[in-house]
């Protein structure tokens, strides 16, 4: 079987659409067919952006693996499984990394929570830029507020954002929050007033512990926290297997 690269096929579709549009330029359907060509170009990826080229004096990335700093932090890296909003894995390994200052802050927050009978359960940390682009391209327009625009890069791409929740130390089970992880509804908002009193109490406990260590919650997701120094790190696009974490 002949194998044609995705890039070559995309170019073929683009030029075919343009030729089709120009060939009908003098006909009554010019507006319709030109619009069709533009839509096809967007669909095939011609209008999508590349990884942003940044200028600035950034810190050297120092990504460290969370569980190596604190083995009591649990992981549930769903993007390494089909159990996520895409329905397919985008990571080859179930691992979580952050820039060292952010990772150390996470361990301090975890110690504070353990005194109250809870621990941190991490869904995601550093995320390669290419995965952010997959998320953006796969998300409907009315849900874009729940994903980062790859033209700007994500704070996950900088190793300074973490998605996480709590687990009960006694039972070892994940607690219930007002919404599930990656739920794209208003129930995911950190100030959502619904849910049970206990769910809201646990959500606030998580937020207080994280804010005490320099993190800020994202306005649309109770589980997403950005570290205060995120602007000091560049966008990164390497796989977990390329990270040299001590």
* pLDDT at residue 246 in the model: 66
The domain tally of the chain equals 2
Give DSSP secondary structure letters for 68-92.
HH-TTSEE--GGGSS-STTSS---S
Do 201 and 130 lie in one domain? The reply is yes
Lowest mean pLDDT among 8-17, 43-52, 111-120, 210-219: 8-17
Do 39 and 67 lie in one domain? The reply is no
CB 157 within 8 A of CB 201: no
Do 35 and 131 lie in one domain? The reply is no
The whole-number average pLDDT for the span 196-224 is 98
Do 16 and 133 lie in one domain? The reply is no
In a domain, 53, yes or no: no
* pLDDT at residue 224 in the model: 98
What does pLDDT average to over the chain? 85
Do 16 and 113 lie in one domain? The reply is no
Q: In what order do the strands lie in the sheet with 221-227?
A: 74-75, 118-124, 161-168, 221-227, 215-218
Do 71 and 134 lie in one domain? The reply is yes
Share of the chain above pLDDT 90, in %: 73
Do 113 and 176 lie in one domain? The reply is yes
* pLDDT at residue 237 in the model: 96
* pLDDT at residue 37 in the model: 36
The whole-number average pLDDT for the span 164-188 is 97
- Conformational region of residue 56, where left means phi above 0, alpha means psi within -120 to 50, and beta covers everything else: left
In a domain, 1, yes or no: no
In a domain, 49, yes or no: no
Options 65, 176, 183, 221, the catalytic residue: 221
Summarize pLDDT for 179-191 with one digit per residue, the tens: 999 999 999 999 9
pLDDT band at 53 (very low <50, low <70, confident <90, very high): confident
Task: List the structure tokens of 176.
Answer: 């219930």
Do 33 and 99 lie in one domain? The reply is no
Q: Across the strands, what pairs with 163?
A: 124, 224
* pLDDT at residue 36 in the model: 34
In a domain, 81, yes or no: yes
In a domain, 128, yes or no: yes
The whole-number average pLDDT for the span 144-158 is 92
pLDDT band at 52 (very low <50, low <70, confident <90, very high): confident
pLDDT > 90? residue 29: no
Domain harbouring 73, CATH code = 3.30.1380.10
Do 13 and 82 lie in one domain? The reply is no
pLDDT > 80? residue 130: yes
Do 199 and 120 lie in one domain? The reply is yes
Give the C-alpha separation, 181 to 191, whole Å: 15
Q: Quote the domain boundaries for residue 37.
A: 6-44
Share of the chain above pLDDT 70, in %: 79
Which of 57 and 11 is assigned the larger pLDDT?
57
- The reply to whether 221 belongs to the active site is yes
* pLDDT at residue 245 in the model: 64
In a domain, 83, yes or no: yes
The DSSP code for 48 is P
pLDDT band at 90 (very low <50, low <70, confident <90, very high): very high
Give the C-alpha separation, 222 to 178, whole Å: 9
Helix (H, G, I), strand (E, B) or coil at 102: helix
Dihedral pair phi/psi, residue 225, rounded to 5°: -130, 135
Do 83 and 111 lie in one domain? The reply is yes
Do 77 and 11 lie in one domain? The reply is no
In a domain, 52, yes or no: no
In a domain, 56, yes or no: no
* pLDDT at residue 118 in the model: 98
């Amino acid at each position: 079987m002949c194998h044609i690269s995705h890039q070559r096929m995309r170019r073929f579709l683009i030029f075919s659409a343009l030729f089709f549009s120009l060939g009908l330029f003098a006909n009554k359907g010019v507006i319709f067919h030109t619009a069709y060509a533009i839509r096809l170009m967007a669909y095939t990826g011609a209008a999508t952006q590349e990884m942003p080229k940044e200028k600035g004096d950034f810190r050297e990335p120092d990504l460290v693996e969370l569980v190596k700093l604190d083995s009591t932090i649990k992981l549930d890296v769903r993007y390494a499984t089909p159990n996520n909003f895409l329905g397919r894995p985008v990571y080859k390994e179930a691992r979580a990394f952050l820039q060292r200052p952010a990772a150390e802050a996470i361990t301090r927050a975890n110690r504070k929570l353990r005194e109250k009978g809870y621990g941190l359960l991490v869904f995601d940390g550093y995320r390669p830029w290419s995965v952010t682009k997959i998320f953006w391209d796969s998300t409907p327009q009315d849900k874009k507020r729940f994903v980062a625009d790859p033209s700007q890069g994500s704070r996950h791409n900088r190793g300074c954002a973490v998605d996480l929740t709590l687990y009960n130390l006694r039972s070892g089970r994940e607690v219930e929050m007002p919404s599930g992880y990656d739920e794209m509804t208003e129930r995911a908002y950190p100030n959502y007033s619904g849910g049970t009193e206990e769910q809201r109490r646990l959500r606030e406990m998580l937020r207080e512990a994280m804010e005490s260590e320099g993190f800020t919650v994202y306005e649309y997701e109770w589980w997403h926290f950005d570290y205060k120094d995120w602007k000091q790190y560049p966008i990164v696009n390497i796989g977990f297997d390329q990270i040299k974490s001590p």
